[in-house]
Structure 1
Amino acid sequence: MDVIKKINNNVAVCRDANGKELVAFGKGIGFPKLPYELTDLSQITMTFYQLNNHYYQLLAEIPQHILDISAEIVKTAQIQLNNNLNPNMVFNLADHIHFAITRMQKYKDMKLVFSYDIEQLYPKETELAKYAVKLIQKTMHVTLPEAEITNIAMHFVNGQAEIEQAENAPNIDRLIDSVANLIEDAFAVKLDKTEFSYNRFVMHLRYYIKRIQDEEQFMDSNENLFHTMKESMSKVYECAATIAKLIYRELGIESTDDELMYLMIHINRIIKNTQ
Structure 2
Amino acid sequence: MNIEKILNNNVVTTIGEDGIEKVVMGRGIAFKKKIGEEIEEDKIEKVFIIHNPHTSMRLQSLLNEIPIEYAEVSEEIIKHASEVIDKKLHEQIYLSLTDHIAFALRRAAEGLIMKNEMLWEIKRIYKKEFSIGMWAIRLIEEKLGVTLDENEAGFIALHIVNASLGQEMPDTMSITKLINDILNIVKYYFKIELDGESLSYFRFVTHLKFFAQRMFNRKQEINNDNSLYDVIRDKYQEPYLCVRKIKDYIQKNYDYELTEEEMVYLMLHIQRLISRKSE
TM-score (norm 2): 0.53
Q: Contact 1:213–1:251 at 8 Å: present in 2 too?
A: no
Is the CA contact 1:11–1:30 (under 8 Å) kept in the aligned structure 2?
Answer: yes
- 1:88 aligned to 2:89? no
Distance 2:11 2:172 in 1: 27
Match of 1:153 among 157, 175, 185: 157
Equivalences for 1:1-275 in 2 at 5 Å? 1-35=1-35, 36-38=37-39, 40=41, 43-50=44-51, 51-52=53-54, 53-106=57-110, 108=112, 110-112=114-116, 115=119, 117-162=121-166, 165=167, 205-215=170-180, 251=254
Note the C-alpha offset of 1:65: 2.3
| Equivalent position amino acid for 2:15 in 1 | R
**One-letter amino acid matched to 1:103:** R
8 Å Cα contact 1:71/1:90 also seen in 2: yes
SS at match of 2:150: coil
Letter matched to residue 23 of structure 1: V
Distance in 1, matches of 2:39 and 2:144, equals: 30
CA deviation digits over 1:200-245, x for unaligned, max 9? xxx66455444444449xxxxxxxxxxxxxxxxxxxxxxxxxxxxx
1:250/1:33 CA distance change after superposition, 3 Å: farther
Could you tell me how far apart the structure 2 residues matched to 1:207 and 1:250 are?
A: 17
SS at match of 1:84: coil
Larger-gyration structure (1/2): 2
Q: Can you list the C-alpha shifts for 1:45-89, whole angstroms capped at 9, x where unaligned?
A: 332233313333333333332222112221222233322201121
Equivalent AA in structure 1 for residue 48 of structure 2: T
Number of residue-to-residue matches in the alignment: 181
Change over 3 Å in CA distance of 1:87–1:109 after alignment to 2: closer
Partner of 2:268: none
User: 2:104 is aligned with what amino acid?
Assistant: A
Indicate how the Cα distance of structure 1 residues 39 and 4 shifts in structure 2: closer, same or farther if over 3 A, else same.
same
Q: Is the 8 A contact 2:50 2:91 kept in 1?
A: no
Q: Deviations over 1:133-184 (max 9, x none)?
A: 111122222221222111111111111145xx5xxxxxxxxxxxxxxxxxxx
Percent identity for Structure 1 against Structure 2: 29
Residues 14 and 21, structure 1, Cα contact 8 Å, conserved in 2: yes
After alignment, is 203-212 or 152-161 more displaced? 203-212
Q: Deviations over 1:82-114 (max 9, x none)?
A: 222011211100111122233345563654579
Residues 37/49 of structure 1: CA separation in 2 closer, same or farther (3 Å cut): same
Mapped to 2, the partners of 1:3 and 1:210 lie a distance apart of 42
Structure 2 counterpart of 1:45, one-letter code = K
1 CA distance for matches of 2:39 and 2:58?
26
Flag structure 2 segments of 5+ consecutive residues without an equivalent. 182-251, 256-279
SS at match of 2:88: coil
In 2, Cα distance between the equivalents of 1:39 and 1:63? 21
Structure 1 stretch displaced more, 5-14 or 113-122: 113-122
Structure 1 length normalisation: TM-score?
Answer: 0.54
SS of the equivalent of 1:103 reads helix
